[in-house]
Chains A and B, each alone.
Chain A
Amino acid sequence: SQKIEQNSEALNIQEGKTATLTCNYTNYSPAYLQWYRQDPGRGPVFLLLIRENEKEKRKERLKVTFDTTLKQSLFHITASQPADSATYLCALDVGANNLFFGTGTRLTVIP
């Protein structure tokens, strides 16, 4: 069965620095991978989708990379702000619009 590991349960960084979150997966070759943000007590909010034939995708201060050989995606937030503090989830496509989620990394940006 598929397995997803997100590098750490929690990550603390200083405001202004770049946050890098890691998502590693095994036993699957997804056509795409997505990143979501989830705030406490709320549903996830879509951030970025990257397809298997794309190496990198950017959206404002966000950047996602996808290495299908390493079976890894990196999620970067540049010039981080306290408002970026949240849990970030990676999710694999497992077919028919189904998503398999990782356990998430709780990011705290310290002012």
Chain B
Amino acid sequence: GAVVSQHPSWVICKSGTSVKIECRSLDFQATTMFWYRQFPKQSLMLMATSNEGSKATYEQGVEKDKFLINHASLTLSTLTVTSAHPEDSSFYICSAPPSGRYDNEQFFGPGTRLTVL
């Protein structure tokens, strides 16, 4: 099956710093990628949809200036958490449906654990 990777797998940073998380589709192209956030014992909450060649669309309540998304190519999307605070500590997961496939299966990355001190 298709593989999605994320880097880093975990990161610890100080409050006020920015953190970049990469999401790559390794063996397929994805014009769209999705970014989710998951707090402990809660489900995945969609944050934003990353679109190759255009601006990301954000879900209600997600600050676009705080969570910067760049879909640089058909295989790479990045999420930058700017001026991170302890409440941003969470598990961030990306997913991608392969372009041109119509079965709607999505492939998820392994996630990135962000801890803000």
Q: Mark B21-46, 1 if CB is under 8 A from A, else 0.
A: 00000000000101000000011111
Binds A, one of B11-19, B62-70, B79-87, B108-116: B108-116
Closest beta carbon of chain B to A38's beta carbon, Å: 8
Q: Do B106 and A97 touch across chains, with their CB atoms under 8 A apart?
A: yes
- How far apart sit A16 and B108, CA to CA, in the bound complex (Å)? 29
Number of interface residues of A (CB under 8 A): 21
The chain A residue sitting closest to B44, CB to CB, is A101
Q: Does A46 make an interface contact (CB < 8 A)?
A: yes
Set of chain B residues within 8 Å of A102, measured between Cβ atoms? 43
Q: Do B43 and A101 touch across chains, with their CB atoms under 8 A apart?
A: yes
Closest beta carbon of chain B to A42's beta carbon, Å: 6
Show 18 A/B contacts (Cβ-Cβ < 8 Å), sorted by A.
Answer: A32-B104, A34-B105, A36-B108, A43-B93, A44-B93, A44-B95, A49-B104, A89-B43, A89-B44, A96-B32, A96-B49, A97-B34, A97-B106, A98-B46, A99-B95, A99-B106, A102-B43, A103-B43
Interface residues of B (CB under 8 A from A): 4, 6, 32, 34, 42-46, 49, 91, 93, 95, 97, 103-111, 113
